[in-house]
Amino acid sequence: MKSFEYTVKDELGIHARPAGLLVKEAKKFQSECTITKGDKTKKLTQLMMLMSLGVKQGDTVTVSAEGADEDTAIAELKAFFENNL
Amino acid sequence: MQSYQGKSVYKGIAMGPVVVLKKNDYQVKRTRIEDPEAEIKRVDEALEKSKEQLQKLYDKAVQEVGEASAAIFEVHQMMLEDDDYLEAIQNTIRTEQINAEYAVAATGDNFAEMFASMDDDYMKARSADIKDISERLVRNLSGQDDADLSSIEPSIIVADDLSPSETVQMDKDKILAFVTVHGSTNSHTAILARMMNIPALIGVDMDLEEIHTGMEAVVDGFQGTVIFEPDETVKAQTTEKMAEEAEKLRLLQELKGKENVTLDGHKINIYANIGSVGDIGYVMENDAGGIGLFRSEFLYLGRNDFPTEEEQFQAYKQAVQMMAGKKVIIRTLDIGADKQVDYFNLGNEDNPAMGYRAIRICLKQPEIFKTQLRALLRAAVYGNLSIMYPMITSTEEVKKIYEIVAEVEEELKAQEIQYKIPEQGIMIETPAAAIISDRLAEMVDFFSIGTNDLTQYTLAIDRQNEKLDEFYNPHHEALLRMIRMVVDNAHKCGKWAGICGELGADTTLTEEFVRMGLDELSVAPSMVLKLRKIVREMKVEE
């Protein structure tokens, strides 16, 4: 399993649109991708659950990927967070 | 007339017929079904149809309000593909053996509830999105089309709440305003209304049972009010306001960001007069080059005791920061005369206009003056602040003021508090000051002519006395000569001179003022662009 930590800079946090794009991104990989905030972990492919985490600006989340393409997945997800959130 | 208050999300005014949109309560019936898989297949079909509709709405919204605001319909499509949402619908159908419509409605309610209970206004507003997509699915399941909102006359739309898709579907040219009982400023409907430049009020506590399609209404987005069945007076006022707004918009489109320069290249600064920090929005809206008169009385009026240094400092600092480098001329305390404050204990005077007021109070009670000066000197560090002293009649007064400023400076220095000595000027509003303006110009950085008092003192006419209206001539030659003299005297010493009284906004004099060489006119925010227009269309040399 690979993972990284990220602190959200976007003013609105992981709001509707980036959440939607993030789900699209995560669905590209075979690996199971998850996001953890505090003690809650959700799959990155679950849009509404992801939104329900209510990740705000300044929150630190952990993103993990586990599976055959986990290296690529983590690299691309990291790039996604840095560019969009 | 019925009048209601709401939260305005777009400032604008509208008047016209009302269309009340009642949510079709798709009384979603719960029925037992025999073949769950067939129901799930119906959901899949409705899903495809919904996605197609959303794609169309997205395309329409991109054209009308731009990609960023249209993104909501992309998100709606994604929500419709959400595995948890779809699985919940399927599970409900399978385990409870019930019809697709009911399963969708129940699942939508559950998810909407989850968002509604979140501790975050933005996320709370998302529950409306979930309701919107669920209702769309149910409509498609039951073979109903989207409510047709495209064929109405130009109207004020009144509803309990509006979903983003309802909002964007409507023909923009036919919506005069939105008025809803619910909704939040974060909702996409509010955002769309702003993007579409349509007056919108939300959170209006009205009873929809009492409001009917065909009624007339007036929506005032500036006041946050809606009035149903307005009387003739309200209607006339509204028509006037709308004309003013239209004129303002037209001027803005034509003149915003343009210089105040004559056809033959002479420039003049056009600033705004304001009475509180809250007015700065109007200054920006009207594209004024700065604030030429910030009346500091607002800090003193309507309270029981003197404002503290810190309160004043914060207000001045906020003003200069908001104006971001543009000039902010703050006039020191001008209490007395027609502005009375109990805690100053000024007592009654027979002739208050010529009485104990303004700088006279400050010089007799320097402790009041010093508090304000400390706050001003401290705030000057944060932007382009100038101080202006009112009611000056002599050079001695200016000397006395500078002594007090020097004392304040010493104190601040000793306390190691950050400060700056800003530009300091005086108001020329007494004939005495105008006549000795050559001497005063050597002492100060600028003059601002207060024409209201200067007129009443020069013509010996009480402004408050209606009987004297026929004698009151603001264009009196004595006054215009004085203004010219003051400007010339300022320029001889390399100082600048402006006008901050009502005469500055007199459009019949604007050309003359520019020719006199006035460096600045400070007027009500709403007049800024009107003056700019005159300046840009005139020539100094004829």
Q: CA–CA distance from B235 to each of B13, B155, B225, B329, B456 (Å)?
A: 12, 16, 14, 39, 37
Nearest to B317 by CA among B228, B380, B245, B269: B380
* Residue from A23, A51, A53, A84 whose CB has the most chain B CBs within 10 Å, to mutate: A51
Of chain B, the end-to-end C-alpha distance in Å amounts to 55
Using the 8-state DSSP alphabet, how is residue B428 labeled? E
Strand order across the A32-37 sheet:
A2-7, A60-66, A32-37, A40-43
Structure tokens at B6: 């709401």
Q: What is the pLDDT of residue B48?
A: 92
Ramachandran quadrant class, B161 (left: phi over 0; alpha: psi -120 to 50; beta: rest) = beta
What pLDDT, on a 0 to 100 scale, did the predictor assign at position B194? Answer: 74
Band of residue B188 on the pLDDT scale cut at 50, 70, 90: low
Indicate whether B275 pLDDT > 90. no
Interface test mutation site (partner A, options B126, B131, B188, max chain A beta carbons within 10 A): B126
pLDDT for B296 beyond 60: yes
What does the alpha-carbon distance between residue A70 and residue B499 come to, in Å, rounded to a whole number? 71
Backbone angles phi, psi at B307, to 5 degrees: -70, 145
Q: Taking CB atoms and an 8 Å cutoff, what residues of chain A touch B114?
A: 48, 52
Do B154 and B174 form a contact (C-beta atoms < 8 A)?
yes
**Which has the higher per-residue pLDDT, B524 or B542?**
B524
Question: What are A52's two structure tokens?
Answer: 């329900």
Closest by Cα among A64, A66, A81 to A9: A81
Q: Which two tokens stand for residue B88?
A: 């919940």
Q: What is the pLDDT of residue B352?
A: 80
Residue type, position B25, single letter: D
The answer on pLDDT for B78 being more than 90 is: no
Q: What is the pLDDT of residue B27?
A: 67
Mean pLDDT, to the nearest integer, of B468-495? 94
* Mean pLDDT value of segment B320-325: 94
How many angstroms away from the CA of B8 is the closest CA of chain A? 22
User: Between B197 and B87, whose confidence is greater?
Assistant: B87
Q: What is the Cα–Cα distance from B294 to B279, expressed in whole angstroms? A: 10
Q: Which of B242-246, B423-427, B509-513 has the lowest mean pLDDT?
A: B242-246
Tell me the pLDDT tens digit for each residue of B513-525.
999 999 999 998 8
Provide mean pLDDT across the span B354-377.
94
pLDDT at B151: 57
- The three-state secondary structure class of B451 is helix
Which amino acids of B are annotated catalytic?
188, 500
Contact A52 B115 (CB under 8 A): yes
pLDDT at B22 over 80: no
What is the C-alpha separation between B495 and B486, in angstroms, rounded? Answer: 11
* Predicted confidence (pLDDT) at residue B230 exceeds the cutoff of 70: yes
Of the listed ranges B65-69, B89-93, B139-143, B285-289, the one predicted with least confidence: B65-69
What are phi and psi for residue B219, nearest 5 degrees? -115, 125
Neighbours of B312 (CB within 10 A): 23
Instruction: Give the integer Cα–Cα distance in Å for A35 and A50.
Output: 8
Q: Give the mean model confidence (pLDDT) for residues A3-29.
A: 87
Judged by average pLDDT, the poorest of B167-171, B512-516, B530-534 is B167-171
Sign of the alpha-carbon dihedral angle for A18, A19, A25, A31: positive
Residues B219-228 have pLDDT tens digits of 999 889 999 9
Buried b (16+ CB within 10 A) or exposed e, B260-288: bebeeebebbbbbbbeebebbeebebbbb
Instruction: List the one residue out of B208, B248, B253 whose CA is nearest residue B228.
Output: B208
- Determine, for residues B72 and A16 on separate chains, whether the beta-carbon distance falls below 8 Å: yes
Which range has the top average pLDDT, B56-65, B75-84, B345-354, B418-427?
B418-427
Contact B83 A45 (CB under 8 A): yes
Instruction: Concatenate the DSSP letters of all residues of B229-270 into one string.
Output: S--HHHHHHHHHHHHHHHHHHHHHHHHTT---B-TTS-B-EE
Q: Enumerate the residues of chain A whose CB falls inside 8 A of the CB of residue B74.
A: 17, 20
AA letter at B273: N
What part of B 173-212 touches A (C-beta under 8 Å)? none
Interface test with A, best of B67, B73, B79, B118 (most A CBs within 10 A): B79
Which residues 105-134 of B have a C-beta within 8 angstroms of A? 111, 114-115, 118-120, 122-123, 126, 129-130
What pLDDT score was predicted for residue A57?
Answer: 87
User: Which residues 6+ apart lie within 8 Å of B142 measured at CB?
Assistant: B26, B101
Closest C-alpha to B190, from B156, B159, B164: B164
Percent of residues, chain B, with pLDDT higher than 70 = 96
SS3 B150: coil
Q: Give dist(CA B86, CA A20) in Å, integer.
A: 16
Q: Distance (Å) from the C-alpha of residue B9 to the closest C-alpha of chain A?
A: 19
Q: How confident is the model at residue B482 (pLDDT cuts 50, 70, 90)?
A: very high
Enter the tokens of residue B116: 């509604």
B331 pairs with which residues across the strands?
B295, B388
Query: Can you tell me whether residue B126 is helix, strand or coil?
Result: helix
B68: nearest CA partner in chain A: A17
Residue B121's pLDDT is what? 78
- Nearest-CA distance B116 → chain A (Å): 10
Which residues, 6 or more positions from B413, have their beta carbon under 8 angstroms from its beta carbon?
B419
Which of B68-77, B187-196, B477-486 is the least confident region? Answer: B187-196
**How far, in Å, CA of B380 to CA of B376, rounded?**
6
Q: Distance between CA B198 and CA B185 in Å, rounded?
A: 14
> CA angle at residue B255 from B254 to B261, to 5 degrees?
135
Tokens 């959130």 belong to residue: A85
Average pLDDT (A7-31) is: 86
B11-25, B352-366, B482-496 — which is least confidently predicted?
Answer: B11-25
How buried is residue B333: exposed, middle or buried, by Cβ count under 10 Å (0-12/13-18/19+)? buried
| Predicted confidence (pLDDT) at residue B310 exceeds the cutoff of 80 | yes
pLDDT digits (tens, 9 = 90+) for B130-153: 888 998 898 888 877 665 565 567
Whether the pLDDT of residue B434 is over 70: the answer is yes
Checking if the pLDDT of B160 tops 90, the result is no
Out of A15, A17, A46, closest to residue B84 by CB: A46
Return all residues near B48 (Cβ < 8 A) that are at least 6 apart. none
A57 chain-B contacts, CB cut-off 8 A: none
Please indicate whether, in this complex, the C-beta atoms of B83 and A12 are within 8 angstroms of each other: no
Over 60: is that where the pLDDT of B166 sits? yes
| The pLDDT value given to residue B147 | 59
Residue ranges of chain A whose CB lies within 8 Å of a chain B CB? 12-13, 15-17, 19-20, 23-24, 45-49, 51-52, 54, 56
Which distant-in-sequence residues (6+ apart) come within 8 Å of B196 by Cβ?
B64, B65, B172, B175
pLDDT category at B274 given cuts 50, 70, 90 is very high
Question: Which of B406, B418, B425 lies closest to B332, judged by CA?
Answer: B425
Does the structure show a pLDDT above 90 at B442? yes
Average pLDDT, chain B: 89
- What is the nearest CA distance from B115 to chain A, expressed in angstroms? 7
The C-alpha angle B79, B83, B84, rounded to 5 degrees, equals 90
**What is the β-pairing status of strands B200-202 and B175-180?**
parallel
Q: What's the average model confidence in pLDDT over B156-183?
A: 82
Amino acid at B220: D
The answer to whether the Cβ–Cβ distance between B118 and A52 falls below 8 Å is: yes
β strands within B422-488, DSSP E: 423-428, 446-449
At B24 the pLDDT is 59
Q: Is pLDDT above 70 for B265?
A: yes
CA geometry: angle at B323 spanning B411 and B384, to 5°? Answer: 40
pTM score, two decimals? 0.59
- Please give the pLDDT value at position B183: 76
Residue B330: pLDDT above 80?
yes
Residues of chain A neighbouring B81 (CB-CB closer than 8 A): 47
B83 touches chain A (CB under 8 A): yes
Most confident segment among B334-338, B467-471, B502-506 = B502-506
Low-confidence winner among B33-37, B120-124, B396-400 (lowest mean pLDDT): B120-124
